[in-house]
Amino acid sequence: MSQQEQLCVSLREAAELIGISPRLLWQLVKEGKVPFVRIGSTTRGRILFPLDVLRQWLSEQSQGNRGKVVENGG
């Protein structure tokens, strides 16, 4: 299945698509700075990133940061 057909991607895949490390993306998730969906248990569930939501979030981030250097997601 291609990424155009996928609804969600894993943390590692999302980090690669955004161009940041998985560790930085995990930190942004823990800080509540990036939208995600947790499937399963609230402590051990799988974290997924819906592609449409991720694209929208990136668009919002870029609009709010035009001409600014972005560090640690915002």
Q: Tell me the residue range of the domain where 36 lies.
A: 8-64
Taking only the tens place, the pLDDT of each residue in 2-30 is 555 889 999 999 999 999 999 999 999 99
Number of domains in the chain: 1
What is the separation, in whole angstroms, between the first and last Cα of the chain?
32
Gap between the Cα atoms of 64 and 58, Å rounded: 10
**Contact assessment for residue 9 and residue 46, using Cβ atoms and an 8 Å cutoff:** no
Mean pLDDT of the chain: 86
Is 24 part of any domain?
yes
Is 60 exceeded by the pLDDT of residue 54?
yes
The structure's pTM equals 0.75
CATH number of the CATH domain containing 30: 1.10.10
Is 80 exceeded by the pLDDT of residue 69?
no
Is 31 part of any domain?
yes
Predicted pLDDT at 52: 95
